[in-house]
Amino acid sequence: MDKLAIRKIMHERRASLKNRDFFDAVILEKAKKISDAHQTIALFYAFNHEVNTVPLISYLLEQGKTVACPVIKAGVMRFMKVESIQDFEMGHFNIMEPVSKIEIDPALFDLIWVPLLAFNNQCYRVGYGKGYYDRFLIQTTGLKVGLAYEVQFIDIAFEDEKDVACDFVVTEVRG
């Protein structure tokens, strides 16, 4: 099965997921515990039926963590510092982006929460197909953790030479 077919299946699985609020709460508790051991954290603002990261962003800010979310500029994904949960505006691909002008160097992140559409046993991920995260992840040595629902797991090898695996994936079952 190719990545295009996997994306289509996973979009449908994720969109039709029941008990989303319950799963989000379980995943959020795991994410908080993992995040507590880290200081400089890259995170995404959820969209399109992803695990809701807004409460996690708020929690991390309350804990005094350095938090940054992605902005796409000139075809490159950069992570900009987030000062407040209100510091977002609609951006590229209709994804909320931070308004901050303060970029965080990828080398400074000790934890990166990674969005995905699908993942396998080796923790490789299928994203949205533009390669932004794979190009970003090779620039950092921080812990790379996928954030997903268990229905996004697929038991096949689909990775290629450009793909960067996560260290592990947190779902309502894993992590």
Tell me the average pLDDT across 151-175: 96
Residue 122: per-residue pLDDT: 97
Tell whether the model's pLDDT for residue 5 goes beyond 80: yes
Tell whether the model's pLDDT for residue 150 goes beyond 90: yes
Per cent of the chain over pLDDT 90 is 91
Residue 38: per-residue pLDDT: 98
Residue 130: per-residue pLDDT: 87
Task: Tell me whether strands 125-126 and 118-119 are parallel, antiparallel or unpaired.
Answer: antiparallel
Residue 93: per-residue pLDDT: 79
Phi and psi for 137 in degrees, rounded to 5?
-65, -30
Residue 146: per-residue pLDDT: 98
Tell whether the model's pLDDT for residue 160 goes beyond 80: yes
Tell whether the model's pLDDT for residue 62 goes beyond 80: yes
**Separation between Cα atoms, residue 34 and residue 175, nearest integer Å:** 9
Residue 57: per-residue pLDDT: 98
Phi and psi for 118 in degrees, rounded to 5?
-150, 155
The structure tokens listed for 28 are 């959020």
Q: Give which of 2, 20, 40, 21 is closest to 151, Cα–Cα.
A: 20
Find the helix or strand (DSSP H, E) in which 139 lies: none
> In this predicted model, what pLDDT tens digit does every residue of 65-77 receive, in sequence order?
999 999 998 888 9
pLDDT band at 119 (very low <50, low <70, confident <90, very high): very high
pLDDT band at 109 (very low <50, low <70, confident <90, very high): very high
**Side chain identity at 20, as an amino acid letter?**
R
Tell me the average pLDDT across 163-174: 97
Residue 92: per-residue pLDDT: 76
Residue 50: per-residue pLDDT: 96
Please answer whether residues 23 and 14 qualify as being in contact, where contact means their C-beta atoms are separated by less than 8 angstroms: no
Q: Which residues are registered as beta bridge partners of 98?
A: 88
**pTM for this one?**
0.95
Please answer whether residues 106 and 132 qualify as being in contact, where contact means their C-beta atoms are separated by less than 8 angstroms: no
